[in-house]
Structure 1
């Protein structure tokens, strides 16, 4: 007799609704199994046939860290395309490569951590390369496109499950795990939340990753905003994955909780569903969860909530239905797309005298430290193909018409006994010049089987590059960078600087008549020993730097022989501005400025091509032409050459403001874009190049602007005509601004944009439906969005400053009303203006308070407070130690309330009451003196 086939469990039945399948599988798991799912590396459950699952696969601009993959332009370069359709196709290609790579390596995860939605508020942010734009609407449009590509087009199953990074208000690396971003409600709603919200509402996002920093004094990993905002934007279960090590930071560096059990419980209850901590070892996290359960800090229902969200994503990926998506990588289509993306990312910043495109038959000098480089960043995959700018120009113009001078300083390092540092051949008995061919460059970094540096009478001439701030790289004649492996020896063993801790950077420190050479990765000095050159804790060897050729001399010679000079300058994405390290200045490194000056002095027809992860403040005045592109991946050189030659008309547009000077910048940790007039929306100075700027080899005329106000939107249309002689793309941009605002509003803000291709003489109509709520602001007096009545100017043109057409519409809106403070009181953080204060956490779980930023004195202003028929007293909820002073309409203090003794802790509030007589509508000024936290003000008749 044949045994009956056991029934298919509901979680294995594709016909059962997903929510029921999730609940069924959840009900079959033991508590220990569910706890195991909370770590990034969730184990399998063999008895149920459930496979292990890993959250997290980096895929910012291609599949990262998993070997060879198609490398697309950096995210900020994709941002410069202003092209959602292109970015969506890049997302599709990346998802296909994820699937293809997973088919041969199960370490590749389908839960991809991309894109980065953080706004590029401050151009000195070390991770500027990872975001799309300083503008929330442009960022959300591109992020939505990328997530749609990553999600795929299957009606049921997702190709990958994208997680947005990094929630929230994260734009600094300095003290990133302990610094708090003070974000007032208007900035929170109008700026930081806006980029995330539109992308989540679009429906192709699986979740978010909280950022390392704190917001308003509270770590993002226990943020109430996850529940109050994020999870209200969609009916889907969103998966919240912690950033690496951040759960432990809650205790170890932030000291926000006393124990890891408290911290883990708080993060889980706030909404963190997957803990990325301690690498592949889940034991510490699972022990903390068990401890929290045993201590009554968590319930099994809290664990179930997190596991349910994880399982929901896994079902969407088709894991329990045997669904597999076909994938491929390094296809001809992906290679073509990488080139297209790189071409569209090139921004022509300046083109006086029509020097570009380059005339056929010219003699071209290509110079600069990045001229023959194809740089990768921390989130790049390994290159299958690469074309540097020099290689692209050789191919396009012919090597015989292109002269190259890198411009590095050539040096020898002489020891005190007269010997020189010497690089031994990489392969025994092989000459150094030919050694590289015998090695796989991708395997060079960190090798210990190569010979360390030694000394001899002649030494080796090294290429020395100063990347700014005295940070140096040294390179052997065959292209290998000096690096320090784990054993401490110095070898020529890296094809590029890189790694989480960069092992290829040094600093020369004056010492007596010479220099010590400090290795920055270890902090130790380089010493010559009998066993070879190594780093050591004891004082290092003293070196004399013997310069055999100055880089600017080589550049000047090549420039003088050329018709046109192309200087390729910029940054190395692993040095002086990267994850963990913010920049300190907008200026180019001094060595690169000298090269540019040498080229320009030798030849006035000098073109600057900046290849960089972020904006620079350069002296563009004397230069006839300037271009910028982010590090453009594998096709960067081909794309730049095609633009320079005129095969492609440039149409990239700046996704962020390029400031003229460091003095134009706010403090890095000042997140109040309104109060400190940040980004193109509020900046009142003259930028070097404005947001949205970018030139073309064609010219475009704008005409026929019309606007019609409807019930829920404004329909805006205009025409764009190519009045030039070549087919080219134009990025038509529409901005808006309130004509008679009652509160500070943007000078202009992007409402819509479209990239379109036009042949010579062709005209296209551009039409947008602008929702009326796109013109709203967050009314702090009433805690909601409001469209003010009155005139609104609509501005159409080619950049935020190049406005070609304008018209005004009048909106009925909703009139403002005074704050009903007699009935509702005032939340301290809902101020209209402030000086010298910061917002902090009212309690560990929720709420805001305000305190003087330096612990001494600060001011708050609440406009139009309606005291009705009259009040007789005022009450404040305060913690800490200090005084609260209240004044009406700029007059003297009318009420003074002080704590007699410090409260027991920052969250132990006391209520203070005193008399205050007022009626009608007045502005209320509140002075904070001392280390006092003000949470709320109440009034009574």
Structure 2
């Protein structure tokens, strides 16, 4: 018996040794990823390499490479793959001004992504929306409120967008030193924000100042701090060259200057646009060669299949193909796709984490924190829970799909505002009327139905003690390259920023009844609600708040949650205040360069309590290159507990250089008990005082800068009850370059 055991053990060891001897280098988990990738690519034919450079990459059985689809989405939760937790649209999450919240949303999203992937692999599925390479986040600057996809972004400010983007990316990609939880893709690189209907042929132009000061920072931070392993190139051209074939953007800036070492994927069919839309190439072979040479490694689409002929005709070398394929395979190795599950901790995430109770609670927290209180005349809000008759009116009051935004998953349960209020006040008489459609259709109008809806709303409001109206926009009106048959909307963009006329007419008629009136906006971009701001006593903005939006809105309306959100975009008074939509210059755009008077400024938002700022301390006599700390004392001077969004802005007093009017450089979301006093500090790097100089270099200059800390922008104190405190920093020494 003992002899048999010894023989069996010997044969087992012999078998393992034989297996190891037969193992190819790319299969050896003891080698580095780089060694394994290099070996694997060396064994592939040209045709096999090219086959891996499109989003629908086929299997290569002889090398053990499974099929893989690179296309997946997780803008605010795992999208387009069935059940998932649906968080607020990013513009709403940005309104939270809570970096930790964004990180936790990213982590919850990647948990669900891995759980779904693990389940798909068990079922042998490798299709679209079933992989681990996700085309999120969208970190474009929301420069113009007419752009329909602005709701996918973190707003108009480079600093806020950078912080939110980095935290989301880190949450998505995980913290394992060897393996990625999933691949995050920062998009759309570069200088991309409409018009949607022209994106396949449009040429966005800027000078170097705006490029470096506004459009590049979020991508720079996403690469250097977030370590995003993927970048998506945009549809449009930039300064005359298609983004997917732009050597300046993809080679000089992205790889040489920013140090990016991941892979670049084109937006879908953007490589075809190089010759079909931008007319910069004669055919698909030439367009493909141009894109790969510039640095686009992966084609969403089929155009790259022409690369085999492009190599054979001398348009591009096979060595250059090798470079792209190695980058793509490196991503798959880093995701653990070629290693045993027991080596990859993320491979054990169970499916029951999808839309778990913890994630549902996080969705509610995010929805609450996204809500911005815009107006509260005579402290009308919060409403009393003793109200008996409540009229709920408006096309957005009971529309669950609107709450999901775009690029969304499907939650197990969605709470609409109507449902949230009914659940909050089960004994009240809550009556609903749609009142009107979202916008005027350009098709045939059923006048009788329009009048019936309008009359029903008036009747319901007349019998109520309070009217709560749910108006705004919808992802069916604003979004990505859409066919919308409604006045004021074109291709997913908006032609005007006013509240659509049917809604404007309805709220004016309801207001004439002289009932207590609350307006709740649900939207993905700024609205010029001039009449409402003047005539409606209470207004909140709840964005597209995700699966728990109705509960969160009810919590705010009836005082179970004290709102603290802030606007991540400027609310302008009129489209007349804006430059031409096609103009990508930042002159007179966003709070950093807008010279007019906004309706509501960036960073604005009210609370059910008040805060006082005092005793700011800033260093004096800094030398260029030094970091510094700024502190201030804040007191909750009201009788309610609540959170405050503490914002730090820098204003440069040197008139000899082009610069923003004022710029956000720090923020924190802090909880205060009633009457509580806290000292808050900000650690500020030299980069916070830097500007783009006349030589187009990011530099910290000797000079005087004013530092503001408060609950709002310094230039708009009149729009908020929140105090602001200020001090000056004097920087001595020579000009200091910021890398």
- The alignment's TM-score, normalised by the length of structure 2, stands at 0.89
Kindly indicate whether residue 734 of structure 2 is the aligned counterpart of residue 734 of structure 1.
no
Kindly indicate whether residue 147 of structure 2 is the aligned counterpart of residue 125 of structure 1.
yes
Task: Decide whether the 8 Å contact of 1:186 with 1:777 is kept in 2.
Answer: no
Highest Rg: 1 or 2?
A: 1
Q: Structure 1 residue aligned with 2:420, among 392, 395, 399?
A: 392
Q: Using a 3 Å threshold, how does the CA distance of structure 1 residues 790 and 6 change in structure 2: closer, same or farther?
A: closer
Q: Structure 2 residue aligned with 1:209, among 232, 255, 258?
A: 232
Kindly indicate whether residue 701 of structure 2 is the aligned counterpart of residue 785 of structure 1.
no
- Offset of 1:230 from its aligned partner? 1.4
Say which SS state the counterpart of residue 795 (structure 1) adopts: strand
Q: Using a 3 Å threshold, how does the CA distance of structure 1 residues 218 and 611 change in structure 2: closer, same or farther?
A: same
- Offset of 1:547 from its aligned partner? 4.4
* Aligned residue in 1 for 2:332: 314
More strand per residue: 1
Distance in 2 separating the partners of 1:46 and 1:369: 53
- Offset of 1:235 from its aligned partner? 5.3
CA offset digits 1:515-561 (Å, max 9, x no partner): xx7xxxxxxxxxxxxxxxxxxxxxxxxxx744484433222222222
CA offset digits 1:824-862 (Å, max 9, x no partner): xxxxxxxxxxxxxxxxxxxxxxxxxxxxxxxxxxxxxxx
Q: Structure 2 residue aligned with 1:353, among 378, 386, 398?
A: 378
Q: Quick check: 712-721 or 699-708, which moved more?
A: 712-721
Distance in 1 separating the partners of 2:450 and 2:151: 36
Kindly indicate whether residue 52 of structure 2 is the aligned counterpart of residue 33 of structure 1.
no
More helix per residue: 2
CA offset digits 1:377-432 (Å, max 9, x no partner): 33111232111100000000125332222213xxxxxxxxxxxxxxxxxxxxxxxx
- Offset of 1:576 from its aligned partner? 4.7
Task: Decide whether the 8 Å contact of 1:237 with 1:312 is kept in 2.
Answer: no
Counterparts of residues 72-151 of structure 1 (less than 5 Å): 72-105=87-120, 106=125, 107=127, 108-151=130-173
Q: Using a 3 Å threshold, how does the CA distance of structure 1 residues 720 and 233 change in structure 2: closer, same or farther?
A: farther
Task: Decide whether the 8 Å contact of 1:467 with 1:576 is kept in 2.
Answer: no
Q: Which structure 1 residue ranges, 5 or more long, are not aligned? A: 279-283, 409-464, 472-506, 509-516, 518-543, 817-941
Counterparts of residues 366-765 of structure 1 (less than 5 Å): 366-374=392-400, 375=402, 376-398=404-426, 400-408=428-436, 465=437, 467-468=439-440, 470-471=441-442, 507-508=443-444, 545-547=447-449, 549-580=451-482, 581-618=492-529, 619=531, 620-673=533-586, 676-708=587-619, 709=622, 711-765=625-679
Q: Using a 3 Å threshold, how does the CA distance of structure 1 residues 73 and 211 change in structure 2: closer, same or farther?
A: same
Distance in 2 separating the partners of 1:22 and 1:236: 18
Q: Using a 3 Å threshold, how does the CA distance of structure 1 residues 240 and 815 change in structure 2: closer, same or farther?
A: closer
- Offset of 1:337 from its aligned partner? 0.7
Distance in 1 separating the partners of 2:260 and 2:653: 39
- Offset of 1:123 from its aligned partner? 0.6
Say which SS state the counterpart of residue 733 (structure 1) adopts: strand
Task: Decide whether the 8 Å contact of 1:120 with 1:171 is kept in 2.
Answer: yes
Task: Decide whether the 8 Å contact of 1:134 with 1:656 is kept in 2.
Answer: yes
- The alignment's TM-score, normalised by the length of structure 1, stands at 0.70
Kindly indicate whether residue 275 of structure 2 is the aligned counterpart of residue 303 of structure 1.
no
Task: Decide whether the 8 Å contact of 2:133 with 2:183 is kept in 1.
Answer: yes
Say which SS state the counterpart of residue 687 (structure 1) adopts: coil
Distance in 1 separating the partners of 2:435 and 2:260: 55
* Aligned residue in 2 for 1:5: 19
* Aligned residue in 2 for 1:344: 369
Distance in 1 separating the partners of 2:512 and 2:131: 53
Once superposed, what is the RMSD of the aligned Cα atoms? 1.9
* Aligned residue in 1 for 2:357: 332
Counterparts of residues 51-62 of structure 1 (less than 5 Å): 51-62=66-77
Task: Decide whether the 8 Å contact of 1:714 with 1:770 is kept in 2.
Answer: yes
Tell me: higher relative CO, structure 1 or 2? Use CA pairs within 8 A at least 6 residues apart: 2
Task: Decide whether the 8 Å contact of 1:178 with 1:254 is kept in 2.
Answer: yes
Distance in 2 separating the partners of 1:576 and 1:125: 8
Kindly indicate whether residue 698 of structure 2 is the aligned counterpart of residue 796 of structure 1.
no
* Aligned residue in 1 for 2:304: 285
Distance in 2 separating the partners of 1:53 and 1:731: 43
Say which SS state the counterpart of residue 535 (structure 2) adopts: coil
- Offset of 1:325 from its aligned partner? 4.4
Count of residues in correspondence between the two structures = 682
* Aligned residue in 1 for 2:686: 772
Say which SS state the counterpart of residue 398 (structure 2) adopts: coil
CA offset digits 1:920-941 (Å, max 9, x no partner): xxxxxxxxxxxxxxxxxxxxxx
CA offset digits 1:113-170 (Å, max 9, x no partner): 1000001110110101100110011001001111111112223211110011100111
Q: Structure 2 residue aligned with 1:164, among 169, 183, 186?
A: 186
Q: Using a 3 Å threshold, how does the CA distance of structure 1 residues 596 and 550 change in structure 2: closer, same or farther?
A: same
Task: Decide whether the 8 Å contact of 2:197 with 2:481 is kept in 1.
Answer: no
Task: Decide whether the 8 Å contact of 1:577 with 1:583 is kept in 2.
Answer: no
* Aligned residue in 2 for 1:16: 31
Q: Using a 3 Å threshold, how does the CA distance of structure 1 residues 716 and 466 change in structure 2: closer, same or farther?
A: closer
